[in-house]
């Protein structure tokens, strides 16, 4: 039996979906499973660079198919880049898959699961949807016309067929699982497996030994961090308004590490408002991620409220691994809001609550012991419920049928104690 993963990006790309897929694929292969990844030749950030069509890395067979390279910034160009991938990835899966294999479709590009479903049916393979987001509702939520009626409704109907046909739909949280169930999917075909961070490589680091803090002159500052993608799904006005309220507080520094479609607009707003306490840095290599995450005493996570149940910000898990508290800006009944409240590892603020966010930052800056306590809660929650080992165990059970009965009973017991409803 071979496990086939289909996703547009894979190692060595730095996108979130690529890193998560790479972690899982390499883990399965190192455990003796036959694993093949069907992905794109083009690089995530460098459209001029092409990777080898065939390669084996750490036991994972990688088959990269041709795509166009119009580029990332414009949605219409990104859509055109997806079209060849649909065709060539489907053809490759159809050519390779056999009865008894498992085909796992992620959601980059959107609706690739519809094509994977057809291949699985033709080849007698098992089919798993790994839902990193939910299209076309996400598109509608960020204002893309294709996601709205009537086209959005037609696309959703086709997508729902793939959800109902899947042997398993892996959702990233309770809210996403609730949405999938609302589409008429059998509860037995829905499973929550949270995303993860490398909780062995990312651990709490004291400021005195953090070379990242020293390199960028952050000693003595209360650093408020934002790490990861600055995409259309994220909300920044509340953060900028809070930063404006804190502009005369010399203790506070904002650190933004990442890239995304909204980065230029955020930089422009910072300059226009005269907000001097901002430092912008590009994505950091994975070997430096522990240091960059630990450079902040508080991290910001945002999600536009209309996207709850459709997207789960995976940056939370790295923050928790570093033992740092979270200020979440979004729906107070959102996935991350529920986690933060359940484990006492931060605070949630609705969009527009800039005064409350600014007060929270001031409080933690004045009481670093409270920030440290909430950070310890975050790390403890990660170790108990959201560790990489726990996620891998659930994935192995889902894909390979392996199950550690003792660990499963302990997992369910902890979930019940924490008030979680969906295993």
Q: What is the pLDDT of residues 358-408, one digit of tens each?
A: 999 999 999 999 999 999 999 999 999 999 999 999 999 999 986 543 444
| pLDDT tens string 119-149 | 999 999 999 999 999 999 999 998 887 777 7
The tokens for 246 are 């804190």
Overall domain count for the chain: 2
Written as one string, the DSSP assignment of 239-273 is HHHHHHHTTT-TTEEEEEEEE-TTHHHHHHHHHHH
* 3-state secondary structure (DSSP) of residue 295: coil
| Other Cβ atoms within 10 Å of 48 Cβ, number | 7
201, part of any domain: no
- pTM, two decimals, is 0.88
pLDDT band (50, 70, 90) for residue 48 = low
For position 75, what pLDDT does the model report? Answer: 52
How far apart, in whole angstroms, are the C-alpha atoms of residue 318 and residue 226? 12
* Domain termination site, one of 177, 196, 215: 196
Asked whether the beta carbons of 56 and 30 are under 8 A apart, the reply is: no
My answer on whether 36 and 178 are in the same domain is: yes
Q: What per-residue confidence (pLDDT) applies to 286? A: 86
Which pLDDT belongs to residue 296? 98
Regarding whether 237 and 286 lie in a shared domain, the answer is yes
**Number of neighbours of residue 214 by Cβ within 10 angstroms:** 14
Asked if the structure places residue 127 within a domain, the reply is yes
Contact 5, 36 (CB under 8 A): yes
pLDDT at 80: 64
pLDDT of 408? 47
Report CA-CA distances (Å) from 219 to 160, 222, 223, 259.
51, 9, 9, 24
Q: Are residues 170 and 296 in the same domain?
A: no
- Is 184 in the same domain as 231? no
Separation of alpha carbons 401 and 229, rounded Å: 34
> Of the candidates 296, 259, 266, 260, which has an alpha carbon nearest to the alpha carbon of residue 281?
259
User: Which pLDDT value is given to residue 44?
Assistant: 59
**Could you give phi then psi for residue 169, rounded to 5 degrees?**
-110, 115
User: Residues 237, 156: one domain?
Assistant: no
Mean pLDDT for all residues in the chain: 91
**Domain check: are 216 and 151 in the same one?**
no
- Span 225-268, pLDDT tens digits: 999 999 999 999 999 999 999 999 999 999 999 999 999 999 99
Q: 231 and 161, same structural domain?
A: no
Angle between helices 354-366 and 368-385 (to 10 degrees): 100
Is a pLDDT exceeding 60 seen at residue 74?
Answer: no
Residue 45: band (very low, low, confident or very high) from pLDDT cuts 50, 70, 90:
low
CATH (domain of 66): 3.40.50.2000
Tokens 């929550």 -> residue? 192
Q: Which of 30, 25, 31, 27 is nearest to 3 (CA)?
A: 25
Residue 227 lies in a domain: yes
Task: Say what the pLDDT of residue 47 is.
Answer: 56
Cβ neighbour number for residue 44 with a 10 Å cutoff = 17
Helix, strand, coil percentages, rounded to 5, for the chain: 45, 20, 35
User: 3-state class of 226 per DSSP?
Assistant: strand
Whether the per-residue pLDDT at 58 is higher than 60: the answer is yes
Flag whether 406 is in a domain.
no
Tell me: pLDDT of 277 over 80: yes
31 and 52, same domain (yes or no): yes
pLDDT in tens, 143-195: 887 777 788 899 999 999 999 999 999 999 999 999 999 999 999 999 999 99
Is position 390 within any domain? no
**Residues of the domain holding 159:** 2-196
pLDDT band at 293, cuts 50/70/90?
very high
What does 107-135 look like in DSSP terms, one character per residue?
Answer: SSSTTHHHHHHHHHHHHT-EEEEE-SB-T
Q: Find where tokens 């520094």 sit.
A: 253
- At 8-44, the pLDDT tens digits run 999 998 788 899 999 999 999 999 999 999 999 987 5
* Residue 305 DSSP symbol: G
Q: Report the Cα 173 to chain-centroid distance in Å.
A: 11
- Does residue 247 share a domain with residue 378? yes
Report d(CA 293, CA 324) in Å as an integer.
8
DSSP structure string for 2-42: EEEEE-S--TT--SHHHHHHHHHHHHHHHTT-EEEEEEESB
Phi/psi for 257 (5° steps) reads -120, 110
211 and 192 inside one domain: no
pLDDT tens track for 301-355: 999 999 999 999 999 999 999 999 999 999 999 999 999 999 999 999 999 999 9
Q: Does residue 150 lie within any of the structural domains?
A: yes
- Answer whether residue 99 is part of any domain: yes
Phi and psi at 182, nearest 5°, equal -65, -15
- Does residue 300 sit in the same domain as residue 190? no
With 0-12 / 13-18 / 19 or more C-beta atoms within 10 angstroms meaning exposed / middle / buried, residue 32 is: exposed
Q: Which helix (H) or strand (E) holds 223?
A: strand 222-229
191 and 270 housed in the same domain: no
% pLDDT > 70, the chain: 90
| 404 part of a folded domain | no
State the DSSP code for 311: B
State which H helix or E strand residue 321 sits in: helix 315-321
Contact call for residues 34 and 28 (beta carbons, < 8 A): no
């Amino acid at each position: 039996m071979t496990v086939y993963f289909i996703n547009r990006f894979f190692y060595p790309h730095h996108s979130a979906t690529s890193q998560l897929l790479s972690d899982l694929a390499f883990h399965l292969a190192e455990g003796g499973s036959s694993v093949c990844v069907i992905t794109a030749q083009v690089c995530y950030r460098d459209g001029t660079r092409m990777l080898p069509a065939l390669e084996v890395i750490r036991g994972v067979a990688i088959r990269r198919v041709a795509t166009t390279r119009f580029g990332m910034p414009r949605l219409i160009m990104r859509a055109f880049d997806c079209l060849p991938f649909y065709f060539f990835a489907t053809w490759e899966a159809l050519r390779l898959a056999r009865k008894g294999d498992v085909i796992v479709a992620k959601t980059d590009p959107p609706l690739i699961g519809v094509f994977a479903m057809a291949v699985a049916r033709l080849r007698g393979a098992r089919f798993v949807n790994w839902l990193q987001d939910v299209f076309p509702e996400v598109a509608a939520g960020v204002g893309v016309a294709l996601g709205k009626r009537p086209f959005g409704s037609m696309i959703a109907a086709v997508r729902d067929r793939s959800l109902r046909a899947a042997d398993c739909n892996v959702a990233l949280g309770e809210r996403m699982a609730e949405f999938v169930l609302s589409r008429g999917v059998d509860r037995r075909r829905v499973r929550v497996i949270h995303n993860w961070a490398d909780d062995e490589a990312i651990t709490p680091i004291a400021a005195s030994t953090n070379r990242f803090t020293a390199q960028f002159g952050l000693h003595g500052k209360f650093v408020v961090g934002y790490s990861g993608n600055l995409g259309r799904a994220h909300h920044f006005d509340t953060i900028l308004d809070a930063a404006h309220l804190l502009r005369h507080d010399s203790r506070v520094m904002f650190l933004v590490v990442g890239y995304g479609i909204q980065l230029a607009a955020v930089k422009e707003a910072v300059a226009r408002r005269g907000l001097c306490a901002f430092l912008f840095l590009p994505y950091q290599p994975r070997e430096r991620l522990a240091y960059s995450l630990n450079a902040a005493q508080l991290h910001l996570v945002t999600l536009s409220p209309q996207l709850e149940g459709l997207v789960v910000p995976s940056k939370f898990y790295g923050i928790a691994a570093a033992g740092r508290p979270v200020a979440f800006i979004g729906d107070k009944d959102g996935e991350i809001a529920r986690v933060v409240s359940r484990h006492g590892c931060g605070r949630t603020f609705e969009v527009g609550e800039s005064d409350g966010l600014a007060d929270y930052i001031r409080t933690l800056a004045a009481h670093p012991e409270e920030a440290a306590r909430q950070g310890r809660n975050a790390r403890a929650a990660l170790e108990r419920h959201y560790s990489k080992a726990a996620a891998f165990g659930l994935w192995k059970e889902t894909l390979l049928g392996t199950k550690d009965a003792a660990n499963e009973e302990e997992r369910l017991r902890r979930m019940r104690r924490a008030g979680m409803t969906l295993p």
